[in-house]
């Protein structure tokens, strides 16, 4: 029997989902923060000057980030592309219209090799959409100062610094040092902080532009936030007459994101942490005393104030692999979608940030059911491979029939 929280799913004829994965594009990102749905709906019924709407967004972004100015675009990925374009064209509309073909002499963007991750698409491609080329610096697990300074030259337009659990977490040049080295050569630094809670720290560390997603932890509509130096923010905004057109944001998402930023200011973060800790506790309890299953509370790798529960599966002892457990949970109704990075290493994680009331308990019950009665027959060959390739597979399979 489905409960009321899934009434919308029944009406739309779509499968109910309990999200213990995180803010994933493929799951609809996040649950809207208080006031967001109303602000979005109210905007739909009215005309407004988009420039004035973006001025209002700029004020709120500046207040929360400490930036000189900011604006909104379609996504963080779009924000990266537009920020790099800004460093190439400045405020010259003729040059804006030439991108991405005639980009000019300054056509390279410096990125540490260990930062060249994917977040559903390659970050290098978000750079390339502007017309610029990525100049990868160092090796994947080590980036030394001389490699950065040696890569900077006449053709360098900007440097990109990526903050993410997806990047390599050791051997990388930290932001402060990266800023020092790049600023010595007057190269602007763009920080991709799409999934970070810290709205002030990157600009405080003297990054020139920082990019956030509006639809991740902020709980806004799908959007990207660009904040930082006024001249660069204006140049990034100007890209709306060029490559930014296909990345545009509408009035509804502008006012929805403003509402999400305002809700962030007044959110009771401590109460949310307490609720999340309770969920982790109930899952730890549910999984205790199951032979071959080990749970560990792990901190977020980039320092967001989130703990997740890591569930290690000894497949010999349990009879099935972590990948099979993840699949079985996903096949239930409602589907329980776990955090799957690490399946190849024999674990999955449970993220408590996107739960509705009562769902933590349902996840605990489902975990116990799947794991205490694990049937080896449930294992399908290749579950781990399918999990690794699954995100692309789903796009390929879509629309087949
Ligand atoms: C999610 C994410 C992005 C992309 O954000 P969108 O707003 O969905 O385009 C970019 N970079 C990082 C590090 C991310 O986590």
Question: Which atom of ligand 1 lies nearest, measured to the CA of 121?
Answer: 4
Looking at domain 34-266, does it have CATH number 3.40.190.10?
A: no
For ligand 1, atom 13: residue with the closest CA: 164
In which band, very low, low, confident or very high, does the pLDDT at 4 lie, cut at 50, 70 and 90? confident
Question: In angstroms, rounded to a whole number, what is the distance separating the alpha carbons of residues 35 and 28?
Answer: 18
Mean pLDDT (the chain, rounded): 95
Residue linked to tokens 């080896």:
376
Task: Kindly report, residue by residue over 88-135, the tens digit of the pLDDT.
Answer: 999 999 999 999 999 999 999 999 999 999 999 999 999 999 999 999
Q: Around Cβ 194, how many Cβ atoms within 10 Å?
A: 26
Looking at residue 2, its pLDDT comes to 46
Looking at residue 386, its pLDDT comes to 80
Cα 288 to ligand 1 centroid, rounded to whole Å? 35
In which band, very low, low, confident or very high, does the pLDDT at 374 lie, cut at 50, 70 and 90? confident
7-28+268-396: CATH class: alpha beta
Query: 70: closest CA among 236, 302, 272?
Result: 236
The average pLDDT across 129-151 equals 98
Looking at residue 268, its pLDDT comes to 94
Residue 191: is its pLDDT beyond 80? Answer: yes
The structural domains of the chain, with segments of one domain joined by +, span: 7-28+268-396, 34-266
309 close to 282: Cβ distance less than 8 angstroms: no
In which band, very low, low, confident or very high, does the pLDDT at 1 lie, cut at 50, 70 and 90? very low
The average pLDDT across 321-329 equals 95
Question: Which atom of ligand 1 lies nearest, measured to the CA of 162?
Answer: 13
Cα 154 to ligand 1 centroid, rounded to whole Å? 30
Looking at residue 388, its pLDDT comes to 84
Task: Kindly report, residue by residue over 331-371, the tens digit of the pLDDT.
Answer: 999 999 999 989 999 999 999 999 999 999 999 999 999 99
Q: Around Cβ 99, how many Cβ atoms within 10 Å?
A: 22
- Whether the CA torsion 121, 127, 132, 138 is positive or negative: it is negative
Cα 226 to ligand 1 centroid, rounded to whole Å? 12
Percent of the chain with pLDDT over 70: 99
**Do 34-266 and 7-28+268-396 have the same topology in CATH?**
no
Cα 194 to ligand 1 centroid, rounded to whole Å? 5
User: Is 213 buried (19+), middle (13-18) or exposed (0-12) by CB count in 10 A?
Assistant: buried
28, 118, 202, 213: residue to mutate for ligand 1 pocket, most atoms within 8 A of CB: 213
Residue 296: is its pLDDT beyond 60? Answer: yes
Question: Which atom of ligand 1 lies nearest, measured to the CA of 214?
Answer: 7
Which residues fall within 8 angstroms of residue 366, CB to CB, at 6 or more apart?
329, 332, 336
Which residues line ligand 1 at a C-beta cut-off of 6 Å?
A: 25, 75-77, 119, 162, 164, 192, 194-195, 213, 224
28, 76, 190: residue to mutate for ligand 1 pocket, most atoms within 8 A of CB: 76
> pTM of this prediction?
0.96
User: Is 273 buried (19+), middle (13-18) or exposed (0-12) by CB count in 10 A?
Assistant: middle
Looking at residue 3, its pLDDT comes to 56
Looking at residue 66, its pLDDT comes to 98
Question: In angstroms, rounded to a whole number, what is the distance separating the alpha carbons of residues 191 and 226?
Answer: 10
Task: Kindly report, residue by residue over 244-284, the tens digit of the pLDDT.
Answer: 999 999 999 999 999 999 999 999 999 999 999 999 999 99
Which stretches of 13-143 are assigned E, i.e. beta strand? 17-20, 69-73, 108-112, 133-137
Cα 119 to ligand 1 centroid, rounded to whole Å? 6
Cα 281 to ligand 1 centroid, rounded to whole Å? 29
Residue linked to tokens 């800023």:
179
Q: Enumerate the β-bridge partners of residue 208.
A: none
Residue 384: is its pLDDT beyond 90? Answer: no
Q: How far is CA 243 from CA 31, 135, 141, 160, 255, in A?
A: 30, 21, 33, 19, 23
Cα 122 to ligand 1 centroid, rounded to whole Å? 10
């Amino acid at each position: 029997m489905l409960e009321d929280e899934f009434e919308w799913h029944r009406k739309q004829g779509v499968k109910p989902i309990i999200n213990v994965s995180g803010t994933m594009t493929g799951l609809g990102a996040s649950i809207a923060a208080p006031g967001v749905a109303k602000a979005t709906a109210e905007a739909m019924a009215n005309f407004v000057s988009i420039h004035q709407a973006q001025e209002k967004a700029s004020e709120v972004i500046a207040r929360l980030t400490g930036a000189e100015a900011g604006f909104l675009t379609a996504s963080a990925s779009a924000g990266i592309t537009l920020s790099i374009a800004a460093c190439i064209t400045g405020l010259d509309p003729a040059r804006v219209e030439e991108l991405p073909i005639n980009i000019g002499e300054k056509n390279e963007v410096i990125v540490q090799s260990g930062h060249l991750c994917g977040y559903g698409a390659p970050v290098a491609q978000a750079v390339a959409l502007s017309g610029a080329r990525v100049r990868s610096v160092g090796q994947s697990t080590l980036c030394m100062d001389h490699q950065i300074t040696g890569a900077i030259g006449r053709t360098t337009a900007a440097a990109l610094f990526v903050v993410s659990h997806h990047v390599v977490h050791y051997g990388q040049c930290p932001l402060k040092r990266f800023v020092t080295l790049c600023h010595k050569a007057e190269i602007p630094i763009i920080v991709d902080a799409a999934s970070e809670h810290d709205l002030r720290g990157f600009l405080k560390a003297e990054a020139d532009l920082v990019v956030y997603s509006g639809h991740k932890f902020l709980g806004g509509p799908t959007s990207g936030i660009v904040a930082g130096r006024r001249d660069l923010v204006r140049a990034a905004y100007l890209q709306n007459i060029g490559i930014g057109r296909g990345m545009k944001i509408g009035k509804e998402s502008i006012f929805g994101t403003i509402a999400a930023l305002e809700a962030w200011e007044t959110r009771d973060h401590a109460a949310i942490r307490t609720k999340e800790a309770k969920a982790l506790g109930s899952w730890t309890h549910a999984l205790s005393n199951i032979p071959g299953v080990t749970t560990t509370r792990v901190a977020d790798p980039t320092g967001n104030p989130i703990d997740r529960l890591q569930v290690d599966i000894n497949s010999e002892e349990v009879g099935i692999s972590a990948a099979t457990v993840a699949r079985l949970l996903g096949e239930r109704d409602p589907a329980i979608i776990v955090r799957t990075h690490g399946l190849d290493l024999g674990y999955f994680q449970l993220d408590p940030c996107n739960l509705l009331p009562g769902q933590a308990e349902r996840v605990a019950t489902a975990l116990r059911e799947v794991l205490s009665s694990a049937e080896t027959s449930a294992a399908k060959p290749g579950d781990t491979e399918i999990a690794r390739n699954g995100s692309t597979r789903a796009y390929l399979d879509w629309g087949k029939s």
